[in-house]
Structure 1
Amino acid sequence: MRIISGIYKSRKIVAPKNLPVRPTTDMAKESLFNILNNTYYFDELVVLDLFAGTGNISYEFASRGTEDILCVDQDFGCIKFINETANSFKMPIQTIKSDVFKYLEKSTFKANIIFADPPYNFTEEAFSKIPELVFQNNLLLEDGLLIIEHSKHTDLSNLQNFSYTKSYGGNKFSFFENL
């Protein structure tokens, strides 16, 4: 995986093979950030990265100037890798090792962008808990977005606060906002 743009542009990041992850492809990541670039100033954002995995999305935000980034993942190896990578690049990324749903139930951390990349084999019920908890606990700042990455075979358009979907190969990003 590589960082697409910003001060760390073209830097490659190699994650250990034993991590239970499926990093967002460079093509999908570049397309997502093109959408965000048209709406937000990255240096003004607060970002919450759920099911953070390798931290791929967070590194991209940090490279583009985002100073307030929090990653949540339940896997110790993922958290350790994110911390090591963020430290080596001197990126402003904080981490919390936690089950994402337990974190969302208790969190008061508000963000402009909440990005969630749960396992693609989640049930519809599990996917639906993400926007349910985010909006129930009012975790999005004004004009914020919840973005859930999922397989092209999953349809989240019936979930609370759904706005639109963008497809890139086998990946989809579903966008949710305060309506």
Structure 2
Amino acid sequence: MRVVSGNYKGRSLKAVPGVSTRPTTDKVKEAIFNMVGPYFEGGVALDLFAGSGGLGIEALSRGIERCIFVDRESKAIQTIHKNLEVCHAIEASEVYRNDAERALKAIIKRELQFQLIFLDPPYKQQKLKTLINEISENRLLRKDGFIVTEHGSDIQLPEEIDQLIQLKHETYGMSSITIYRYSHKGEE
């Protein structure tokens, strides 16, 4: 696993030890960033099921100013810290050990908005529709932002969730990527 492009390009990232975390492959990571725009001029990202932190670190490498990493596993948190050190990205990051629902509640209280939100939960424990709905209802995504979900290719997510519409859907073997953004219907 490595950083594909940007300021940290080529840096090797450690995977979370054990079999409970499935890292996003470099090929899928590159495809994701080709879909949402290869580079960014600032903004904040949220990597909600961060694992090794690979998606959030890639976003930082490509111009996101700050990224919040959340995972409930202590081994994942340790791995994220090591990977941030390798990329000298600690100052641009916040890392929390928490589950997704509690983390979202804390983020809602902070009134944060994100340019990019990564949702890559364990394939067997998906609550993607519920999480996306909560993100939309609480306006955690900027109007020009994206929610990037990674899920099993056997999962079909709806075209619309609250005010968000499916922008892209691609399958890579056992994994699928579905990207949402605001529909902008009825916006001034």
TM-score normalised over the length of structure 2:
0.85
Give the deviation of 1:14 after TM superposition. Answer: 2.4
Q: Within 1, Cα distance between the matches of 2:137 and 2:105? A: 9
Determine if contact 2:4/2:26 at 8 Å carries over to the other structure: yes
- 2:186 aligns to what? none
- 1:49 aligns to what? 47
Q: SS in structure 1 opposite 2:55?
A: helix
Equivalent position amino acid for 1:171 in 2: S
- 1:12 aligns to what? 12
Give the deviation of 1:6 after TM superposition. Answer: 1.3
**Structure 1: which 5+ residue stretches go unaligned?**
none
Equivalent position amino acid for 1:175 in 2: I
Q: SS in structure 1 opposite 2:151?
A: strand
Residues 134-157 of structure 1: CA deviation (Å, up to 9, x unaligned): 011110012111111101100012
**Structure 2: which 5+ residue stretches go unaligned?**
184-188
Give the deviation of 1:117 after TM superposition. Answer: 0.3
Q: Within 1, Cα distance between the matches of 2:12 and 2:75? A: 19
- 2:31 aligns to what? 31
CA RMSD of aligned residues (A): 1.8
Give the deviation of 1:131 after TM superposition. Answer: 0.7
Which consecutive aligned stretches of 4+ in structure 1 deviate over 6 angstroms post-superposition?
Answer: none
- 1:121 aligns to what? 124
- 1:172 aligns to what? 176
Q: Within 1, Cα distance between the matches of 2:97 and 2:121? A: 15
Equivalenced residue count is 175
- 1:134 aligns to what? 135
Provide the identity percentage. Answer: 31
- 1:151 aligns to what? 152
Q: SS in structure 1 opposite 2:41?
A: helix
Determine if contact 2:6/2:62 at 8 Å carries over to the other structure: yes
Change (3 A) 1:159 1:142: closer
TM-score normalised over the length of structure 1:
0.89
Determine if contact 1:116/1:148 at 8 Å carries over to the other structure: yes
Query: Which moves more between the two structures, 168-177 or 27-36?
Result: 168-177
